[in-house]
Structure 1
Amino acid sequence: MSERGVLLGETLVLDDVGPARRGRAYPTVGTTAALLLPAALLLGGLVLWPVLRTAYASVTDGGRFVGLDHFRTALAEDGGWTVLGRTLLWAAVVPAVVTVAGYLLAAASRRTSSGRLVTLILVAPIALPLVVTGVTFRLLYDPDPDRGTATWLTGGLWLGPKMITVALMSAFVWAWVGLAVLVFRAAFDALPPVLSDAVRAYGGTRLDAFRDAHWRPLLRRTVAIVFALVALATARTFDLILVMAPGSVLDEASVVSVRIWQTSGGTVTGPSAALGVLWLAALGLGVLGAALWSRQAWPPPPRPPVPPATPSTVVPRLVRRVLPPVAAVWWAIPLVVLVATSLHAPREAATQGWWTAPVGLGSYESVFDGGLARSLTLTAALSIVVTVVVLAVALLAAYALAWLSPPGAQAAGVVLLGAAVVPVQVIAGPVTEVLDWIGLAGSFAGLALVHVALGAPFAVLVLRNALADVPLERVRQARLAGRREWSVLARLAPATVPAVVAVCVLEFVQVWNDFVVGLLFGGPDALPLGLALYGQTRQFVANSGPVAAGSVIASVLPVLLVIVFRRQVVRGLVTGAMK
């Protein structure tokens, strides 16, 4: 006897007697809720409620509605409009430079003998903590030409009030171009080569080949992704500015993230809440614009191509030959300066140039004598714990959203995207209130909880895309073979390996490189590595050797992880995004 049933939209024949087992073919509401509950609690308690609390504080004063008074105060006092304008300038100029440079370097370094080496050099800065990037460029732009390489080359004083924003932007571009190169390389690899060949075979120019064979099929969407990622990152720039900008010019370099921290710290105040609401609104509009811009249909098939003798390209041959090695040299200089400075004793590093002082390991000895080992151990433990918890929470929620279709699944995607871009400074005050209420403020567990809540939304989005790309037939087979949803997820997990690797690597590196979460929510017993390095920068010139040595130590592990797993990370990130 057989019975007909429906599973995931397909008609099946069940070869047993009686009704189909609901746990296999029809997941219960309770199962779906259980899968989503951990992520919902984390996001609700430590992201969404704090956002609402901040919004409420922006229009009230002691429980009394005050309308837009806090917004006027935040923008009118202490150059608020200037800070907001500088933040928007960052979000427009830096992503444009990174996107153009990433495209040119990716196109020029493909299929060249030096392409792999160039890519490795460009990618390395991605993994550096921004605290380390700030240390590196502050060494490079040291006002004394006997120590500052850039100062010696240009004769300027780059860290003065007139040039500090340009200097900071140059450091950020150096740190992020490698990511753009990786994403564009993945896009180029996904482009059918016959498109470009067809355009050129029918008399098209380089511009025609770029527009019809690269831009319309895929690069428009890729540009939107890269631009949005970098713009969001610039909007949240914080540690780079605090480390690199001398205290005398911090106001001239300040952006919204720094201003909110300066005016509120870890508390809730009306003007800082108003500034945070404006910041969130700008981020939301930016994400929405990028999403709308990236929506496009694949163009109609080109006319039959005539196979050319050699592959064509939209990048001139001279650019392909010259640009990659020149870029590799320029990108390597800051790394050389950092490592060379670390190889001098503290006194010599503070008084002589990195190219003249005698080599020694005195700065490394000084760093470990100062207690860096304890911060290293704590940061490693924190990174491992947070990565494991984020992966577990995100896998459960991603599976439920991808294949169980709970009510409001599409709205959940929008909420997750919004939660993924919420700057921690905006919600610092309310999150501190939550941690105080549960008794975890200033502790290792509290620090880990905040990291998990901030990392989970992005991880869920990446893993949901990966799970949604699993073929329907494979999901059907896993459902029939597994008695519970947990076993179905386990059977589908191998298909998500690139996304899982991407989540693990990015989350581990994010926590390892963190500065702002440790600054806002850490305590005497929870001093992560970034905060320990920042403490040494207060007497920057005198401590330049130990600071450089600590920066090198802090950078080794994340750089190795990103370089070794770079292909899997990019594959995991672009899954479903470039189709």
Structure 2
Amino acid sequence: MTDARVLGEVVVIDDVGPARRGRAHPAAAATSVLLLPALLLLGGLVLWPVLRTLHASVTAGDGRFVGLAHFQAALGEPGAGAVVARTLVWALLVPAVVTALGYLLATASRRSQEGWLVRLILVVPIGIPLVVTGVTFRLVYDPDPARGLVTLLAGGLLAPTGGQAPQFLGPALVTVSLMSAFVWAWVGLAVLLFRAALDALPPSLSDAVRAFGGTRWDVLWDAQWRPLLLRTAAVVFTLVALATARTFDLILVMTPGSVRDEASVLALRVWQTSGGTTSGPGAALGVIWLAAVAVGVLGAALFVRQGWPPPRRSHPVPPAPRPAPPRRLPRLAAGAAAIAWLVPLGVLAATSLHAPGDAAARGWWEARPRLNSYAEVLGNVELLRSFGFTLLLAAAVTVAVLIVAVLAAYPLAGVAGPPAQVTGVLLMFAAIVPIQVIAGPVNEVLGVALSAGTTRGLALVHIALGVPFAVLVLRNSFADLSPEQVRRPRVDGRRWWGRARRLARPNVPALIAVAVLEFVQVWNDLVVGLLFSGSDAAPLGLFLYGQARQFVANSGALAAASVLASILPVLLVVLARRHVIAGLVSGGLR
């Protein structure tokens, strides 16, 4: 941006446009300073641990190169092949089911007058910790028909034929049960993403396709899927596929110890092999996992970024769109989905409203509601301490992530072309690196920088894990500003920090999305607390996991604690759902 005098008047010559967007961002020296906190966190707690894991996978404890020996040992363990195959099934089948259900329910709820209520019900599981989801579905699928609703109903249906109720938490069906719980937890996100895409479609496009003789399938393809829904489906599938790497919490809480091996995936196997240390076989399994994640991220980034060709016909836009009348079948489907999604929530709430002894001995439908379990939970000093600790931890981590991410996102928004694409892929990879894979090297870093197993170490790990996705979302949000929004602070003669402050104002929705997602992630966490907590740290997820070890005896109090633990994250997700979806759409995979 320069100025000159024309006929004695000062005029502004604009050199800050889409092609020269970087002029609105700080110079190289300031950029280095702004990026330094993010680079230190990601370099020390993500990049170096990944390289250390790669090194440990091909070397012995004394540093001697051993080639593929660790891979052969890890894959030669009993059941290792089944674990890898089961992980692939999780990464392919579950996202496909979630994507299909998400689209169908988004369409059905959009065509029903009660659609807003259906979507609200489907959103609730998004905020529930996976630990609580595991508790909920373990109650639903309890193999004892005196306590398990599904087992009781299945037994009643099969009794006339002389059959026995299948054991949903037995070896044969435990993986199916786990997948059903995961689908229940994630379908709401898919519904919201598809609903946002459907709302963004021009309402008159379907009429234009029909006006040119298009069939029902032409309308579906040319007016919906080709313009936007293919990309949305790719985003949904990829997000859920990457999330399946975090099935650790669900498997650890929901499966009885006797069948855990039959349900194990790489998330659990790596932890069982190496825990929080660096070992050769564990590192080898981690490298296999990292390779799959890297291929998935690269493929997703390339696929989602592809621009779809324009429709085969050039359709004029009719003057007035015709609203679709409500149909009976979509309303019934949406209502049935809402009822199905309410059942697990009802089981959890009903179990929490019984005395601990009643909840352990018989089904919630056989005893009168009482508040004894809540009284026991609220009188537990350890639980109250855990609530307070987790609240402070989540708030502090969220503030730190926002600061570091804003500082890094502002200069990165000025990067364009291939460097921006490479930066996006690297940030996405860093955002989904499984913590179990790098836990040993991270503990080594923390042991050098500060005593491992402290609250500061736990907070640092959470910050490092949260920064990549936060930077990705905010970078794209900054980059999406209009040329006028970018130009104005520079015309006003502001320095780069003043411009950053002005440019942050239109990005408040993205900031809210990052804050909500980060707070909920830390609040709902189990695996980071399990791997890095010390005696002075008491994360809520770790407390609930400890109570779940005596599941039947503690089911009443555990259900009450789970309800209380879910209130805050559910409220945040429900109230900020529009901002969260906008952040995922703008920042997720670009």
TM > 0.5:
yes
Could you tell me how far apart the structure 2 residues matched to 1:56 and 1:283 are? Answer: 18
Q: Match for residue 459 of structure 1? A: 470
- Shift in Å, 1:206: 2.3
- Shift in Å, 1:306: 4.7
Q: Match for residue 16 of structure 2? A: 8
Q: Match for residue 20 of structure 1? A: none
Q: Match for residue 162 of structure 2? A: none
Corresponding position: 1:195 with 2:194: no
1:13-412, aligned counterparts within 5 Å?
27-61=26-60, 62-155=62-155, 156-294=166-304, 295-297=306-308, 299-300=310-311, 302-306=314-318, 310-312=322-324, 317-370=327-380, 371-403=382-414, 409-412=420-423
Aligned-partner SS, 1:304: coil
- Shift in Å, 1:67: 1.1
One-letter amino acid of the counterpart of residue 503, structure 1? V
Structure 1 residues 289 and 24, CA gap change in structure 2 (3 angstroms): closer
Deviation digits for residues 478-523 of structure 1 (CA, Å, limit 9, x no counterpart): 1233543221111011111111111010000000000000000011
- Shift in Å, 1:455: 0.4
Q: Match for residue 476 of structure 1? A: 487
Judge conservation of contact 1:465–1:576 (CA < 8 Å) in 2: yes
Aligned-partner SS, 1:543: helix
Aligned-partner SS, 2:364: coil
Aligned-partner SS, 2:485: helix
Tell me the number of residue pairs that the alignment of Structure 1 and Structure 2 aligns: 567
Could you tell me how far apart the structure 2 residues matched to 1:307 and 1:282 are? Answer: 50
Judge conservation of contact 1:197–1:311 (CA < 8 Å) in 2: no
Could you tell me how far apart the structure 2 residues matched to 1:79 and 1:319 are? Answer: 45
Could you tell me how far apart the structure 2 residues matched to 1:438 and 1:289 are? Answer: 36
- Shift in Å, 1:567: 1.0
Could you tell me how far apart the structure 2 residues matched to 1:26 and 1:260 are? Answer: 43
Greater mean alpha carbon deviation, residues 223-232 or residues 362-371: 362-371
Could you tell me how far apart the structure 2 residues matched to 1:218 and 1:399 are? Answer: 28
Could you tell me how far apart the structure 2 residues matched to 1:318 and 1:26 are? Answer: 54
Aligned-partner SS, 1:355: helix
- Shift in Å, 1:305: 4.4
- Shift in Å, 1:461: 0.4
Q: Match for residue 158 of structure 2? A: none
Could you tell me how far apart the structure 1 residues matched to 2:117 and 2:551 are? Answer: 33
One-letter amino acid of the counterpart of residue 128, structure 1? I
Could you tell me how far apart the structure 2 residues matched to 1:105 and 1:27 are? Answer: 45
- Shift in Å, 1:298: 5.1
| Selected match of 1:447 from 439, 450, 458 | 458
Structure 1 residues 10 and 335, CA gap change in structure 2 (3 angstroms): closer
Could you tell me how far apart the structure 2 residues matched to 1:111 and 1:409 are? Answer: 39
Q: Which runs of 5+ in 2 are unaligned?
A: 6-11, 156-165
Greater mean alpha carbon deviation, residues 240-249 or residues 271-280: 271-280
Judge conservation of contact 2:509–2:579 (CA < 8 Å) in 1: yes
Could you tell me how far apart the structure 2 residues matched to 1:286 and 1:524 are? Answer: 37
Could you tell me how far apart the structure 2 residues matched to 1:71 and 1:60 are? Answer: 11
Structure 1 residues 409 and 308, CA gap change in structure 2 (3 angstroms): closer
Judge conservation of contact 1:86–1:255 (CA < 8 Å) in 2: yes
- Shift in Å, 1:319: 3.2
Could you tell me how far apart the structure 1 residues matched to 2:589 and 2:213 are? Answer: 28
Judge conservation of contact 1:126–1:179 (CA < 8 Å) in 2: yes
Could you tell me how far apart the structure 1 residues matched to 2:557 and 2:119 are? Answer: 29
Judge conservation of contact 1:24–1:483 (CA < 8 Å) in 2: no
- Shift in Å, 1:278: 0.8
Judge conservation of contact 2:98–2:186 (CA < 8 Å) in 1: yes
Greater mean alpha carbon deviation, residues 355-364 or residues 474-483: 474-483
Aligned-partner SS, 2:535: coil
Q: Match for residue 506 of structure 1? A: 517
Deviating beyond 6 angstroms after TM superposition, the runs of 4 or more aligned structure 1 residues are 3-6, 23-26, 404-407, 576-579
Could you tell me how far apart the structure 2 residues matched to 1:310 and 1:505 are? Answer: 37
Judge conservation of contact 2:57–2:70 (CA < 8 Å) in 1: yes
Structure 1 residues 159 and 468, CA gap change in structure 2 (3 angstroms): same
Aligned-partner SS, 2:365: coil
Aligned-partner SS, 1:204: coil
- Shift in Å, 1:236: 2.3
One-letter amino acid of the counterpart of residue 485, structure 2? R
Structure 1 residues 55 and 556, CA gap change in structure 2 (3 angstroms): same
One-letter amino acid of the counterpart of residue 573, structure 1? L
User: TM-score of the superposition, structure 1-length normalised?
Assistant: 0.94
Deviation digits for residues 380-421 of structure 1 (CA, Å, limit 9, x no counterpart): 000100000101111111111002679955433332121011
One-letter amino acid of the counterpart of residue 276, structure 1? G
Structure 1 residues 541 and 307, CA gap change in structure 2 (3 angstroms): same
Greater mean alpha carbon deviation, residues 455-464 or residues 348-357: 348-357
Q: Match for residue 560 of structure 2? A: 549
Greater mean alpha carbon deviation, residues 543-552 or residues 230-239: 230-239
- Shift in Å, 1:439: 1.8
One-letter amino acid of the counterpart of residue 446, structure 1? G
Deviation digits for residues 227-262 of structure 1 (CA, Å, limit 9, x no counterpart): 000000112210100000000000000000100000
- Shift in Å, 1:81: 1.0
Judge conservation of contact 2:94–2:183 (CA < 8 Å) in 1: yes
Could you tell me how far apart the structure 2 residues matched to 1:95 and 1:482 are? Answer: 49
Could you tell me how far apart the structure 1 residues matched to 2:188 and 2:418 are? Answer: 40
Could you tell me how far apart the structure 2 residues matched to 1:292 and 1:317 are? Answer: 38
Aligned-partner SS, 1:64: coil
Aligned-partner SS, 1:67: coil
Judge conservation of contact 2:474–2:587 (CA < 8 Å) in 1: no
Structure 1 residues 197 and 425, CA gap change in structure 2 (3 angstroms): same
One-letter amino acid of the counterpart of residue 574, structure 1? V
Structure 1 residues 161 and 26, CA gap change in structure 2 (3 angstroms): closer
Judge conservation of contact 1:27–1:404 (CA < 8 Å) in 2: no
Aligned-partner SS, 2:413: helix
- Shift in Å, 1:59: 0.8
One-letter amino acid of the counterpart of residue 422, structure 1? V
Greater mean alpha carbon deviation, residues 290-299 or residues 323-332: 290-299
Aligned-partner SS, 1:296: coil
Aligned-partner SS, 1:60: coil
Greater mean alpha carbon deviation, residues 203-212 or residues 346-355: 203-212
One-letter amino acid of the counterpart of residue 122, structure 2? L
Structure 1 residues 477 and 229, CA gap change in structure 2 (3 angstroms): same
Could you tell me how far apart the structure 2 residues matched to 1:6 and 1:473 are? Answer: 10
One-letter amino acid of the counterpart of residue 245, structure 2? A
Percent of aligned pairs with the same amino acid: 63
Corresponding position: 1:532 with 2:543: yes
- Shift in Å, 1:575: 2.5
Q: Give RMSD over aligned pairs.
A: 2.3
Could you tell me how far apart the structure 1 residues matched to 2:91 and 2:210 are? Answer: 36
Judge conservation of contact 1:201–1:308 (CA < 8 Å) in 2: no
Q: Match for residue 573 of structure 2? A: 562
